[in-house]
A = this chain, B = another copy of it.
């Protein structure tokens, strides 16, 4: 175990829980792995590793299979890898124009995925939350062989401590989302979850700014693989970065925010763009220009290595990217040694709901003790 000399000795139960997490973490990071390799990686004895692996097998958090490359010293080896047979996560998302739910197992295999398109602005928050809860129940019932270890709900607006202070695009104000949901749930910002989804289920590097283009525009900053949340947990509100401070009014109460120029409602369809419709091309160029201005401010402040355009921006990337790149070059090239890479999301519209489920899986891998608790130490 990881000794920490500044703290009192760890209780036996806590030590076992910590070591279970240590072993499962190595399996998640580098598996399949033999017990001998796990002992080496964790610094635990082979006897301890064997006992912990037995518990994890018993809980169906891991499975074993003959090693492809054979074992050490000529003996046939058995390797341990994550098992998707039992524990899973429920990811939920409320957005302006749809609800989404997914069940993802511990191997990150997406087992169920559900989307309902509807206008959530027209309904009361409690009704929207009841609808997304029902969608989640439906998804979970289609994976009834799995144990749902937890639920994370993504919301398009600043979220702090389970509460939405103001999500103007949904028309929600001071909504106690976690309390209204009526069941244990962690409430998170949609762009933050999409950033984590892109990192875990897509191809994003360890440092990047994910941009979520929906009715509103949000962003999630991942730095060294971890989400930057800010002091109140409401960092990344790219949609309200000023493009032109004297510009048109935004739903947030300010003027000239990015959302006014480049929110979903200002964007043409990719069909119109592909057919070469001139006004569609001009609308896309204009939104791309505003997005470039706001992103140049974000790059000046955050210096991310990569910008990933997600949400509705992903399918429009071929038309948006040239305008964005042009503005980034105009505003940044003389000052900075290099411009950030600009790429399209590879997880698409599912990024947020996948990232929400991924948060639950990360917790299970850190703290598997709850699920591997029956067979004793």
Contact = CB atoms under 8 A, between A and B. Distances in A.
Nearest to A333: B253
Contacts of A333: 253
Given A3-B3, A243-B242, A244-B246, A302 B254 contact: no
A297 interface: yes
Nearest to A300: B237
A107 interface: no
A6 B301 contact: no
A24 to B, nearest CB: 15
A234 B5 contact: no
Nearest to A253: B334
B252 A42 contact: no
B252 A335 contact: yes
Given A43-B6, A243-B245, A336 B301 contact: no
A242 B302 CA distance: 14
Interface string A290-311: 1001101110111111000000
A197 interface: no
A228 B207 CA distance: 13
Given A207-B231, A234-B336, A241-B300, 6 more contacts: A3-B43, A166-B336, A238-B301, A244-B244, A252-B334, A294-B297
A286 interface: no
Name the residue in A166, A293, A305 with the highest tally of chain B Cβ atoms < 10 Å from its Cβ: A293
B42 A232 contact: no
Interface of A: 1-6, 41-44, 158, 160, 163, 165-166, 168, 207, 219, 221, 223, 228-238, 240-246, 252-254, 256, 290, 293-294, 296-298, 300-305, 330-338, 340
Q: How many copies does the complex hold?
A: 2
Given A41-B6, A44-B5, A335-B166, A303 B230 contact: yes
Contacts of A236: 301, 303
Contacts of A297: 240-242, 294, 297, 301
Given A5-B2, A237-B300, A297-B297, A305 B231 contact: yes
A302 to B, nearest CB: 6
A300 B236 CA distance: 6
26 contacts: A1-B5, A2-B4, A3-B3, A158-B336, A160-B337, A163-B337, A207-B231, A219-B301, A223-B228, A229-B303, A231-B340, A232-B336, A232-B337, A240-B296, A240-B331, A242-B243, A242-B244, A242-B297, A244-B256, A252-B331, A253-B335, A254-B296, A254-B335, A297-B297, A301-B301, A301-B302
A217 B2 CA distance: 44
A5 B43 contact: yes
A248 to B, nearest CB: 13
A300 B338 CA distance: 24
A258 B103 CA distance: 46
A155 to B, nearest CB: 14
B234 A293 contact: no
Specify which of A2, A6, A241, A297 lies most central, judged by the most chain B CB atoms within 10 Å of its CB.
A297
